[in-house]
Structure 1
Amino acid sequence: MGKIEGVRIQNFGPLRDIVMGKTLSNQKNAALNNVTVIIGPSGNGKSTLADAFGFLADCLELGVEAACDAKNRGGLMQIRSQGIADPVKFELYYRESSKTRPITYELEIDEDPMGRPYVKQERLRQRVEKRGWPLSFLFLQNGKGYAYEGKEGGADDSGRSVNGEKVEVELTDIRKLGIVTLGAMKQYERIERFLNFLKSWYLCYFSPDAARTLQTAAPQPYLNRTGSNINNVAQYMYRENKKEFMKVLKDIQTKLPGIEKIEPVKFENGQMMLKFWEQGFQNAFYSPKMS
């Protein structure tokens, strides 16, 4: 299973230049652990950091121009740090497994003369040997550059090719990520694997209001982006492993002051909701009424 060992974000809102974990440009840092918790006061950039990952996911799915306008971001002008004219930059330091050499993904997004966001530069690097500077197996500037087929090979920073099959490429749409276009082709195996890793990201912007809405009866294994299907997820957990699900509910109960019992209730139409009993009240209430 792939893992991000570090990330660097530049010029993204209040994140003028932050580094978390180990990256190509910060090799002395320790790699991120399997679980990373971000803690800080309000207005310290926690939500912006989360949205930076959401922005990358939207760039994959929608393209950079639509991603800049999605989620009420207000376009690249509002996304970019105030007083900064440089591109928005991302650097992901990724490892497919503990036995593989790390891969660095670099992305720069800027505005063209008409004010439209586009992919200014995109690069994937990986070391050929255990030591030495990593070689680029994908490098695009303004949609033009090269990519390497197969599992090995790349070019150094001067453009000199080292092993592998180098292919000159030019994209027809510079508002789409090159990894999306080339990752769909089997001959670019390393690009395809990295693209699949990014597509496997799961992001949830949990919204309490959305979680109170009632959905149709359909067990679902994961929360959606807003958490509106929380009852569907409860239904799935109840169906797949009732004993473990009841243990989870009992644990949740201990974290909620005044709640004496939580019980799953399945209705005739197949829907399921959680029922809560609160101290001092005779009648229980259902999850849509829960804070």
Structure 2
Amino acid sequence: MQLESIEIENYRVFRHAKLTSLPRLVTLVGANGSGKSTLFDMFSFLKDALAFSVGKAVARRGGWKELKSRGQEGPIRIEIKFRESGGRLATYELTIGEANGRIVVEREILKFRRGQTGKPWHFVDFSRGEGTAITNEEQYGKKDAKEKRDKYTLDEPDVLAIKGLGQFKDFRVVAEFRSLIENWQISDFHIVEARPATEEGYSEHLSTRGDNLAQVAQYLHTYHRERFDAILDAMTRRVPGIAAVDAKPTEDGRLVLRFQDGSFKDPFIARFVSDGTIKMFAYLVLLHDPRPFPLLAIEEPENQLYPKLLMDLAEEFRAYAQRGGQVFVSTHSPDFLNALELEEIYCLYKKDGFTTISHASDSENLRALFDGGDLPGYLWKQGVFEGVNR
């Protein structure tokens, strides 16, 4: 799966913003308050709306007045275009409003394009808890096939149809899209939570906060040794002095990460290792996951990392994206940007109080300078990017 475009209306600082031609690795740059974190929050909002309800997702963000763009009329609208597993272009549209003090889903559509011409199939088309869904999915894509629809009613007007219908095997397409959102990973890694010893055992994926780092390391060491060895190889190449990493069980059933410095006989346990070493190891564990998340979002990965490591880290993100997980990264680091292509960079800046988004590759000036040998990070520092000085 790959997101092709995102369009957002009336969601906090996004009065009307659009990202198009999205590559596998998407990097967001912009001043503080320009909307980078808000875009990641939109991903989290969809996950919360699916896990609970749209009403609860809105409430978690301070309520309708706090979430909706200030002073704007009309509902909140999110549109995502993506490639489904069969390679066809699909669109998910979600429009949210307020009626009598209650949050409602004004419209929810999941539609798949049918070739270059022809009317798209609306696999889901709901409004305020009622709507229709296709019942003959097996005919989709066949020549001259005609869709068959039935009516359905959800429990509440703020429940997503993809949540209700996605539980049933008869709605494979809906279930696939629901699973896609459920498996998005919006990372909120905290060094302090990765250091303590954790309960003994295994974890297949690094948590959003990184508090199960030792358990994931142990899992990779036991069941995916080639991945663990690749992580160790990257650590020894990119972090001076590190010769080995292991997860040591303690007598009381916990796991402690230990880092072997080639200059010393005994290894250091995690709490005595630098923040940068722990964070780089955590990122490598995340990025060498045998089953990449379909979407991975990470804010400012440069924090606590030595600048020279950032170009290597950018390459790790790109390799992860090429294995199947689309990556969204926000950054302020020129060193990270220097490892990127212009097609991978989007600039966010405020205009009249709301966020505007430009694609670096669309700028003729940036393209000419980049083709002439200038690196994006240096151009960012020089203020050449659109909106950088706003």
Q: TM-score range by the shorter chain?
A: 0.7 to 0.9
Residues in 2 aligned to 1:284 and 1:192: alpha-carbon distance in whole angstroms: 47
Residues 122 and 243 of structure 1: CA distance in aligned 2, closer, same or farther (over 3 Å): closer
Asked if the contact 1:217/1:271 (under 8 Å) is kept, the reply is: yes
Residues in 2 aligned to 1:245 and 1:131: alpha-carbon distance in whole angstroms: 48
Residues in 2 aligned to 1:7 and 1:139: alpha-carbon distance in whole angstroms: 19
Alignment match, 2:74: 86
How do 1:1-291 and structure 2 match up within 5 A?
A: 2-21=1-20, 30=21, 32-70=22-60, 73-97=61-85, 99-114=86-101, 116-151=102-137, 152=139, 163-242=146-225, 244-256=227-239, 259-269=241-251, 271-276=254-259, 285-289=268-272, 290-291=274-275
Deviations 1:40-98 (A, max 9, x none): 3332222211111111011110111221233xx2223212222223222111112223x
Structure 1 gaps, min length 5: 22-29, 154-161
SS at match of 1:38: strand
Residues 14 and 282 of structure 1: CA distance in aligned 2, closer, same or farther (over 3 Å): farther
* Residue 173 of structure 1, CA deviation: 0.6
Residues 245 and 193 of structure 1: CA distance in aligned 2, closer, same or farther (over 3 Å): closer
Residues 263 and 164 of structure 1: CA distance in aligned 2, closer, same or farther (over 3 Å): closer
Asked if the contact 1:259/1:276 (under 8 Å) is kept, the reply is: no
Counterpart residue identity of residue 14, structure 1? V
Counterpart residue identity of residue 77, structure 1? K
- Number of aligned pairs? 268
> Which of the two has greater helix per residue?
2
Higher relative contact order (CA 8 A, sep 6+): 2
Residues 102 and 265 of structure 1: CA distance in aligned 2, closer, same or farther (over 3 Å): closer
Residues in 1 aligned to 2:63 and 2:198: alpha-carbon distance in whole angstroms: 32
Counterpart residue identity of residue 167, structure 2? A
Counterpart residue identity of residue 103, structure 2? P
Residues 261 and 274 of structure 1: CA distance in aligned 2, closer, same or farther (over 3 Å): farther
Residues in 2 aligned to 1:117 and 1:217: alpha-carbon distance in whole angstroms: 43
Residues in 1 aligned to 2:58 and 2:270: alpha-carbon distance in whole angstroms: 35
* Residue 216 of structure 1, CA deviation: 0.5
Counterpart residue identity of residue 218, structure 2? Q
Q: Percent identity?
A: 28
Deviations 1:241-290 (A, max 9, x none): 4464244234235544x655453251334543333467999986422354
Residues in 2 aligned to 1:131 and 1:203: alpha-carbon distance in whole angstroms: 36
Residues 11 and 286 of structure 1: CA distance in aligned 2, closer, same or farther (over 3 Å): farther
Counterpart residue identity of residue 32, structure 2? S
Q: Which moved more, 1:195-204 or 1:99-108?
A: 195-204
Residues in 1 aligned to 2:204 and 2:250: alpha-carbon distance in whole angstroms: 21
Deviations 1:199-222 (A, max 9, x none): 332333222232234321111121
* Residue 138 of structure 1, CA deviation: 1.8
Counterpart residue identity of residue 82, structure 1? R
Residues in 2 aligned to 1:83 and 1:221: alpha-carbon distance in whole angstroms: 45
Residues in 2 aligned to 1:241 and 1:148: alpha-carbon distance in whole angstroms: 41
Q: Please provide the CA RMSD for this pair.
A: 2.8
Asked if the contact 2:217/2:247 (under 8 Å) is kept, the reply is: no
* Residue 5 of structure 1, CA deviation: 1.9
Normalising by structure 1, report the TM-score: 0.79
Normalising by structure 2, report the TM-score: 0.61
Asked if the contact 1:3/1:94 (under 8 Å) is kept, the reply is: yes
Residues in 2 aligned to 1:126 and 1:45: alpha-carbon distance in whole angstroms: 30
